Amino acid sequence: MRDALNQLFRSAFGAEPSVIARAPGRIEFIGNHTDYNGGTVLGASIDRGIWVAARATAGRSATFASGHSPQRVVVDLPCTAKETGDRAWVNYQLGVWSKMADFGLKQPQGFEFADVSDLPPGAGLSSSAAIELATGLALTTLAGESPSRETLVKLGKKAENEFVGVPCGILDQGVSGFRPARPSRLHRLPRPGVRDRADAGRRALLGF
């Protein structure tokens, strides 16, 4: 997938990316609609995911290319409204950029961005969380930031809730961002507004 990503980026932008990031999809055993109600959840990341590549640019715009769309999308920054129609697939990435400031993170002023995936959208494998986490890794790196995995997970959830407009809990982003090696027990996710964080014990790093 990395070779396909580099080829797409060079074809779309005529240059090499300065950062490449990846986040996995997930499967869910239990937890549907319980993650935002303080219930028990059990999920696992899988070996398929989304790869993204990016580089900073001098202008104040974001340009997107994707392996799943023949269209390049250019958005002026800062962006305050969602894209619609056949441009709506960039809203997850724009949401992450838009909400970075809410966590005290610098935002890249302009950038080029490409993504490829072997994670089928709409298959219940949380492609939305994967693109949010991978985007968060890439854009924070472009901006010279090094947030914790917990912050990236919260950033992805906030982007999906408040920009994309999906009232999801934190299960999908938490499983994508925190990959359990040998979980010794189940954890209950707290209700939003109580202590909205994913458990951060004994986890493997997200991979670039």
Buried b (16+ CB within 10 A) or exposed e, 52-66: bbbbbbeeeebbbbb
Query: Residue 40, Cβ neighbours under 10 Å: how many?
Result: 12
Gap between the Cα atoms of 25 and 76, Å rounded: 29
Q: Which residues contact 168 (CB under 8 A, 6 or more apart)?
A: 36, 157, 160, 161
Gap between the Cα atoms of 156 and 176, Å rounded: 10
Active site residues: 172
- Tokens at 205, concatenated: 């790093």
